[in-house]
Amino acid sequence: MPMQIGEKEFKQRVTKGLDDNFMRGAVRSAQGRLQNNRASAADELGDWEDWRTLGKEIRQHTIEHLDYYLHQLSEKVAELGGNVFFAETAEEANEYVKNVVKSKNAKKIAKSKSMVTEEISMNEALEELGCDVVETDLGEYILQMDDHDPPSHIVAPALHKNKEQIRDVFRDKLGYEKTEKPEELALFAREKLREEFLSAEVGITGCNFAVAESGSFALVTNEGNARMVTTLPETQITVMGMERIVPGWEELDIVVSLLTRAAVGQKLTSYITALTGPKQSEEGDGPEEFHLVIVDNGRSKILGTEFQEALHCIRCAACINVCPVYRHVGGHAYGSIYPGPIGAVLSPLLSDYDEYKDLPYASSLCGACTEVCPVKIPLHEQLIAHRRNIIEEDKKGSLAEKVAMKGFGQMAGSANLYQMATKMAPILSTPFSSKNQIRKGLGPLKHWTESRDFPKPANESFRSWFKQRNKRGVQHDVRKH
Amino acid sequence: MTLGNIENRERFLSNIRDKIGGLSADKPVQKPNWSTQPQYRVLKDQNQDQLIKVLKDQCKHIHTDFYHTDEQHLDETLNEIFEEYGVRSIVYTCDSRFQDHKVDTSLKQSGLDTWEWDDNEKEASIQFSEKADVGITFSDITLAESGTVVLFNGQGKGRSVSLLPQNYIAIIPKSTIVKRMTQATEKIHKQVENGEDISSCINFITGPSNSADIEMNLIVGVHGPIRAAYVVVDDI
């Protein structure tokens, strides 16, 4: 699956999201749970702000010396007998992986969850070889069975689906006969995927964090599929975005502790698996052969710019889980496998403004994302920086199309967009409001609503109210709320 | 050991170096002094017995059955768990601690179908583990805060033992219990610093496998074990 997903037009994607009640219900409840879990895990740990500060310092230092740490990592991996390939583009990465698979004459490949392999369309490249590529993360498996439905969240990829829809996918594609109970669905997937793990010749994993000092890779998971993929197949290929690295084990402790809490509110996930090289000769299970592919694919363009901090991201999705825009439009509306605030920052950087010019405007700039980021990326400020750049490029006429959504000034000039935006305002504030007051604001609004209530935007826009009023011919109507 | 290949490195890294103004990649970079280190404040001043209490409480959150016994009663406790889980077949790692604490003798005498992991019989060991009702390992380091057992897999200690069977039991010598991940990663970091080899697969295991991929409902038991039990043993 390439990074770009869904319809071309941002507006169409947004409307589709807003009209999808199943998806919106699923996203609302997921966001609620994830937000609560994260907040209580952070509270329980204590000193959360100190942890965030340390997380930020570690990420900043690592990215500022990325060349050194990647060099050290590759030296260590090679010393252990692993092969390292540095890929500047998606094509180079896929070509290398295809060659490894061909040299093994492999037919079946088991994959654990990896966003970077989605980004570079690795599955499609391998399928061209005639290989059977099996996604083994439960969420990814559901999507793969559902004719490659794109992921809508970077941690919980099938978040937009409810259990009845999942039951139907399993029934139609795999002959599943039981109910929509999550336990029964998961047990069915367990049995189906066991066969795949045992017969796969190659295992492909992503990488949460590489550890430079020892040439190790940490996989942070709950289901156990990444352990299967690195225990049973003869050959292991690990694909990492080039920024996904820490100097040593002591730093790994910090970023993992932040990741598991910020992502799902767990102290640690069920499995943190740290792999170092292929198996040693005296060991029984584990891969005989290990390949590491380090992917740039546009990341180095971000280095040395005002957006460098976007590379500090540890992919926890906390920003996605608090975003009021994501809550209503869902992940697919972003048109990128990286949705939400971090997606709106990162997608135009990895691709370009022509492709993702609308995303920096898919934000209310409420700042909730910045507030929850465990490594303190100033997400909403980066969105503003994007808007500034887009306006500059637009002035120069270097953007292929006119930008669809801009700040209020330009938006109000376009009747259609103005109507859409005003239609969204009450929707955006609804979940946090009771009666006509906003009681639980996000971001900077939170500090305001802690001591007083903020009036809720009217359900009816001034224009439609005015039109109705004229129709009714009422002189002194009271504006409905 | 044969060195692995490194391809395309120089071009790739020099591009990065141009952007961040880095020095030559082989000049050592010093880690800065971090402005804060909150990890050392977690569970500070808690003694071993208090940590056992923390571990026990955490087990409730990670859907893990907790047992506390001593060496003399270890086999009794294990049999109790076997009964509770309906265990008929057992795989365990080839680890001298099973002999040292006479666990292997009692397992062999239990009348259940047992298999000690054998690196030379890889396929048979995997096949047995795949069908086994329970896999048993000793914990190498145990993290009280998160309820985590750390396994240094390696010779004799197959990765499959704690992964493929339906249920998993970790025997936790009391002396292996530390506060949190910080103490474990510190130990591994020291090994690296001293030029020692580290385990090719270090598992941090926190309870049974689970997933929240279906409507964010927690499902316990996905690809790995469905149930897990920790047995803390005094005196060992």
Ordered by where they begin, the domains of chain A are 47-300 (3.40.50.10420)
Cβ separation A273–B20 shorter than 8 A? no
Q: How many other C-beta atoms lie within 10 A of the C-beta of residue A121?
A: 17
Task: Using CA coordinates, name the residue in chain A closest to B181.
Answer: A253
Cβ separation B6–A83 shorter than 8 A? yes
Residue in this structure with the two tokens 């009422």, named with its chain if needed: A474
Residues of B in contact with A71 (CB under 8 A): 9, 13, 25-26
Q: How far is CA A404 from the centre of its chain?
A: 24
Cβ separation B119–A88 shorter than 8 A? no
At B215 the three-state DSSP class reads coil
Most distant CA pair in chain A, distance: 90
Please give the pLDDT value at position A477.
Answer: 43
Please give the pLDDT value at position A326.
Answer: 96
Cα dihedral angle (A75, A81, A82, A87), rounded to 10 degrees? 50
Cβ separation A166–B214 shorter than 8 A? yes
Which of B205, B206, B209 has its CA nearest to residue B227?
B209
Residue of B120, B202, B212 lying closest to A274 (CB–CB) = B202
Query: Is residue A88 less than 8 Å (CB to CB) from chain B?
Result: yes
Q: Which two tokens stand for residue B142?
A: 């145990």
Query: Is residue A267 less than 8 Å (CB to CB) from chain B?
Result: yes
Cβ separation A267–B206 shorter than 8 A? yes
Cβ separation A231–B163 shorter than 8 A? yes
Averaged over B104-119, what is the pLDDT? 94
Determine the Cα–Cα distance for residues A157 and A166; give it in Å rounded to an integer.
13
Cβ separation A163–B163 shorter than 8 A? no
| Least Cα separation, residue B78 to chain A (angstroms) | 23
Residues of B in contact with A190 (CB under 8 A): 221-223
- State whether the Cα torsion B96-B98-B102-B104 is positive or negative: negative
Ordered by where they begin, the domains of chain B are 48-234 (3.40.50.10420)
| Least Cα separation, residue B75 to chain A (angstroms) | 27
Cβ separation A267–B221 shorter than 8 A? no
- Residue from B117, B222, B227, B230 to probe the interface with A (highest A Cβ count within 10 Å): B222
Q: Is pLDDT above 60 for A480?
A: no
Determine the Cα–Cα distance for residues A386 and A80; give it in Å rounded to an integer.
43
Please give the pLDDT value at position B1.
Answer: 67
Which of B142, B87, B137, B83 has its CA nearest to residue B112?
B87
Residue pairs spanning A and B at CB distance below 8 A: 315
Q: Which two tokens stand for residue A233?
A: 């197949």
Burial of A257 (0-12, 13-18, 19+ CB in 10 A): buried
Query: Is residue B233 less than 8 Å (CB to CB) from chain A?
Result: no
| Least Cα separation, residue B194 to chain A (angstroms) | 11
Out of A43-47, A375-379, B23-27, B53-57, pick the least confident.
Answer: B23-27
Q: Would you place residue B28 in the very low, low, confident or very high pLDDT band (cuts 50, 70, 90)?
A: confident
| pLDDT tens per residue across span B133-150 | 999 999 999 999 999 999
Query: Is residue B159 less than 8 Å (CB to CB) from chain A?
Result: yes
Phi and psi dihedrals of B233, rounded to 5? -120, 120
| Least Cα separation, residue B72 to chain A (angstroms) | 30
Which of A147, A126, A111 has its CA nearest to residue A221?
A111
Burial of A47 (0-12, 13-18, 19+ CB in 10 A): middle
Q: Would you place residue B66 in the very low, low, confident or very high pLDDT band (cuts 50, 70, 90)?
A: very high
Residue in this structure with the two tokens 């303190």, named with its chain if needed: A376
Residues of B in contact with A278 (CB under 8 A): 200
Which of B190, B142, B206 has its CA nearest to residue A249?
B190
Please give the pLDDT value at position B22.
Answer: 61
Q: Is pLDDT above 80 for A139?
A: yes
The pTM (predicted TM-score) of the whole model is 0.89
**Separation in Å, CA A359 to CA A331, A339, A344, A400, B118:** 12, 9, 5, 16, 55
Q: Amino acid letter at B191?
A: Q
Q: Where do the H-state alpha helices sit in B65-214?
A: 74-85, 96-100, 103-109, 122-131, 181-193
Determine the Cα–Cα distance for residues A247 and A168; give it in Å rounded to an integer.
46
**Measured at the alpha carbon of residue A60, what is the angle toward residues A56 and A61, in degrees to the nearest 5?**
120
* Sequence-separated (6 or more) residues with CB below 8 Å from residue A375: A52, A55, A56, A59, A255, A258, A312, A313, A314
Q: CA end-to-end span of chain A, whole Å? A: 44
| pLDDT tens per residue across span B151-177 | 999 999 999 999 999 999 999 999 999
Please give the pLDDT value at position A433.
Answer: 47
Q: How many other C-beta atoms lie within 10 A of the C-beta of residue A197?
A: 24
Q: Is pLDDT above 60 for A414?
A: no
Q: How many other C-beta atoms lie within 10 A of the C-beta of residue A96?
A: 20
Cβ separation A224–B209 shorter than 8 A? yes
Query: Is residue B195 less than 8 Å (CB to CB) from chain A?
Result: no
At B26 the three-state DSSP class reads coil
| pLDDT tens per residue across span A44-85 | 999 999 999 999 999 999 999 999 999 999 999 999 999 999
Out of A280-284, A358-362, A420-424, B230-234, pick the least confident.
Answer: A420-424
Strands (E), A180-310: 202-205, 209-211, 216-221, 235-241, 245-246, 271-276, 289-295
Please give the pLDDT value at position B190.
Answer: 98
**Residues within 8 A of B (CB atoms), A 335-364 only:** none
- What is the ipTM, given to two decimal places? 0.96
Q: Is pLDDT above 80 for A434?
A: no
Averaged over A407-423, what is the pLDDT? 45
